[in-house]
Amino acid sequence: MKNYFRTVSVMAFLAFASCQQKTDLHTEHNAAIKKAVEDQYLKLISALNKLDFNALSDNFSKDDFNSALIGEKYLSSYIVWKDSVSNWLSKREHQQITLAEISVKPLTAELALLTSTTDWDIRFKYGEQRKMKMCMSVLWKKERCSWKIVH
């Protein structure tokens, strides 16, 4: 009976220890995903602040882009997104986007959902100035070299 109790105790300890190790690795992996997506998002905001369409578009998947919702606009493909956003940016003289809140939730090892709140200050070439707050949810996918937006 002592051997049985000892065997069960050792097995329980090993099961608990292995579960704890997986949790720690899972937590570390999630933290790495969160940091990578947040860093990529900060690059996106920087590109927007510079009105740099090429740097902005580097954050979007060319192959797996599904669609985008921007305000009241539904952009059904990468080409539609590219044409719309380059047109919008061409009308701006300056803009400053400030990140107010950000949350990244890893969904899988290759997908993460980012939600954010940003404050926008836009000055258009024709003189109008507009300030607004935007809330967004963006789906990111891990591609070969970095995380890219797919929706």
- The model's pLDDT over 101-147, given as tens digits with 9 standing for 90+, comes to 999 999 999 999 999 999 999 999 999 999 999 999 999 999 988 99
Distances (CA, A) of 13 to 1, 4, 19, 20, 32: 18, 14, 10, 10, 29
Mean pLDDT across the stretch 25-54? 93
pLDDT at res. 93:
97
Can you give the pTM of this predicted structure? 0.79
pLDDT at res. 7:
52
How does residue 76 score in pLDDT terms, banded at 50, 70 and 90? confident
Mean per-residue pLDDT over the chain, rounded: 86
Of the ranges 1-15, 70-84, 135-149, the best mean pLDDT one: 135-149
Alpha carbon distance 150, 97 (integer Å)? 22
Instruction: Mark out the alpha helices in the chain (DSSP H runs).
Output: 2-49, 53-57, 78-90
Mean pLDDT across the stretch 79-87? 92
Asked if pLDDT for residue 27 goes beyond 90, the answer is: no
How does residue 67 score in pLDDT terms, banded at 50, 70 and 90? confident
Asked if pLDDT for residue 18 goes beyond 70, the answer is: no
